[in-house]
Amino acid sequence: MKLWRERAGLRQAELGRRIGYSEELVSSVERGRRAPKPEFLDAADDVLDAGGMLATFKEDVERARYPKKVRDLARLEADAVELRAYAGTVVHGLLQTDAYASELYRLHRPVMDDDVIEVNVAARMDRQRIFARRPAPFLSFVQEEATLLRPVGGRMVLREQLKRLLELGQLRHVEIQVMPTAREDHAGLGGSFRLIVPRNGPQVGHVEVQQFSRVVDDQKDVRRLDALYGIIRAQALTPRESLAFIEKVLGET
């Protein structure tokens, strides 16, 4: 943006006046200290006659506003050829609807500001582009039965979430399984986790609890999580049985 501004012979203060923002904000954007909003880039593109060169960065800049741990996780997922995840407390983030994710963030304590919730939900929805990627990665999820029954956001939010699970479960590269609460043998009681196989490089694990997020790259620990997921998957209902179970829950919700 600085190059285009100087090319137009404008100072930061003058550009700020023309697009309706302060000189301080223009300076912060040019120095990389602030991520501009889409309307800022649109206005600057128009005033500086950049022909869309600035506006085209809106998507990348929007992602730069996401929390660092989310950006790091999104980079891992973007390079994945396979992802496997066990979710024991809520519906896995990649499977969540916008409304369900919003309600989860509203339940967060300490309370989050609305703009922080908005950014976090947008980041979570953005990561779901993994389902439309080509070539398609293999995506496997095991959901604890309780996550399908807990009415996060109320009955209608839960119904839409269940419909979303059924929709995703129909994709050929996605498998969703349910771990029944009645199972006596359950290898996943230690908590939720995921495994990611990148296009190039070794498999990594990822664990998150109480807002603490950690990538597991020690291969001994990764192999242990890999074996654990295999056992969890074998103990859960099959994908076909799971979709039937979700349909039953939806009918009763």
pLDDT in tens, 58-98: 777 766 666 677 777 888 888 999 999 999 999 999 999 99
Strands (DSSP E) contained in the chain are: 80-87, 138-144, 174-179, 193-198, 204-209, 212-216
Does the pLDDT of residue 132 top 80, yes or no? Answer: yes
pLDDT (average), residues 197-209: 92
Give the range among 52-56, 147-151, 247-251 with minimum mean pLDDT. 52-56
Q: How far is CA 176 from CA 85, 218, 248, in A?
A: 10, 27, 15
Q: Which CATH class is domain 2-64?
A: mainly alpha
Phi, psi of 177 (to 5 degrees): -120, 150
Close Cβ partners of 120 (under 8 Å, ≥ 6 residues apart):
66, 67, 70, 101, 105, 112
Vertex 250, ends 246 and 253: CA angle to 5°?
A: 135
What is the structure's pLDDT at 208? 87
Q: Give the pTM.
A: 0.77
The class of domain 68-252 in CATH terms is: alpha beta
Give the domain ranges of the chain.
2-64, 68-252
Question: What is the SS3 string spanning 163-221?
Answer: HHHHHHHCCCCEEEEEECCCCCCCCCCCCCEEEEEECCCCCEEEEEECCEEEEECCHHH
3-state secondary structure of 82: strand
Two tokens, residue 232: 């969890």
Residue 37 — very low, low, confident or very high, per pLDDT cuts 50/70/90?
Answer: confident
Cα separation, 108 vs 247, in Å, equals 29
Query: Which of 174, 179, 181, 176 is closest to 162 using CA atoms?
Result: 176
Give the DSSP letter of residue 131.
Answer: G
